[in-house]
Amino acid sequence: MHCVAGLDTFSSGSVRIGDTELGALKDKQLTRLRRDKIGFIFQVFDLLPTLTALENITLPMDIAGRKPDRQWLDTVIDTVGLSGRLSHRPSQLSGGQQQRVAVARTLASRPDIVFGDEPTGNLDVDGTLRRTGAADLKVLVATAGGPSDAARARGARALGDSPAVRIRSERDVSEESARSVTLMLDMLYALLAMAVVITVLGVVNTLAMAASERAREIGTLRAIGLDRSGTKRMVRLESLAVSLSGGALGIALGVFFGWATGEPLGTRTKTYELILPWDRIAVFLLLAAVVGVLAALWPARRAARLNMLQAIRAE
């Protein structure tokens, strides 16, 4: 284990970490490799007694001259449960808390490989390692012949059929992302449906009030020759014009905001493409027309039944 971790030299054989052959590295190069790519959790924790818990956690990054990722550092500290003990020195911490400091020190720098001694088997540190280390770990594997069920099965067997590991193809990842977007769109459609219902009620109320406020105008039209059916048709056409203009304006604004929102995303995602569903847009316009006609039924009937003399004398 010491040879694999670059802590000791080996007399024969070969040890590689990624594409790096450890036997070909000099001491300074090995030191840089351990500092940048390897994390250690020692059996007796090996915390520096003069440093606080937080200073011990950030020590490897301080030596490397790197600033810690504050968001990730806070996540690691919260996960191991050290938020209230960061200013304490090792002598002021219990054995379990010292162990958690050692684990946090290793994970805070996000090493490629973690070598853990006995501490990783105590106090549920294994679960801590999984939550902080493996939760966001993704490994891309290119298989001969492309993704297949056989390749998925081989990968699962190679990983010991662990329930903590999911094997997904590029298509699976795309479908999962698409499902989340679809769910968001379904929620937006539900909210839109509620808005449409409220709008229809508002249109009905507005037309009914308009019929009352325009009683004198309607009475005059009836008196000079407009029959009841003509009055109903007039109100329906007005409602249809309002609904179609509102629907067209809403679609235009929706397309604009969709384009404005997606344009920044398109610069970061090569597969992004704005596609206008013309068939669905046509359906929405048709529904707007139907809503306009239906919303005018009661106001049109009310306008047609106005008494001409009372309507003409209305103020």
Greater confidence (199 vs 314) lies with 199
Question: How much is the pLDDT for 125?
Answer: 44
Q: What is the mean pLDDT of residues 122-129?
A: 48
Q: Where are the domains of the chain?
A: 16-137, 140-167, 170-312
Architecture of the domain made up of 16-137: 3-Layer(aba) Sandwich (3.40)
Q: Are 246 and 288 in contact (CB under 8 A)?
A: yes
CB atoms within 10 A of CB 75: 17
pLDDT at position 52 is 92
pTM confidence score: 0.41
Compute the average pLDDT of residues 269-298.
82
Model confidence pLDDT, tens digit, residues 80-124:
888 888 999 988 988 888 888 888 888 888 887 777 765 454 445
DSSP string, 68-127: --HHHHHHHHHHHT-TT-TT--GGGS-HHHHHHHHHHHHHHT--SEEEE-GGGGSTTHHH
Q: Residue 288 — pLDDT band, cuts 50, 70, 90?
A: confident
Q: What's the average model confidence in pLDDT over 62-74?
A: 86
pLDDT at 142: 58
Band (pLDDT 50/70/90 cuts) for residue 269 is low
Q: Quick one: angle between helices 228-268 and 297-304, nearest 10? A: 160
What is the amino acid identity at position 55? E
188 to 184, 193, 256, 288: CA distances (angstroms): 6, 9, 17, 18
What whole-number distance in Å separates Cα of residue 218 and Cα of residue 70? 71
* Residue found under tokens 């007399």: 11
Report yes or no: 313 and 272 within 8 Å, Cβ to Cβ: no
Segments of 216-257 assigned E as strands: none
Whole-number pLDDT of residue 23: 79
Q: Which of 84-98, 136-150, 195-209 has the highest mean pLDDT?
A: 84-98
pLDDT of residue 196: 74
Q: Which two tokens stand for residue 285?
A: 């316009």
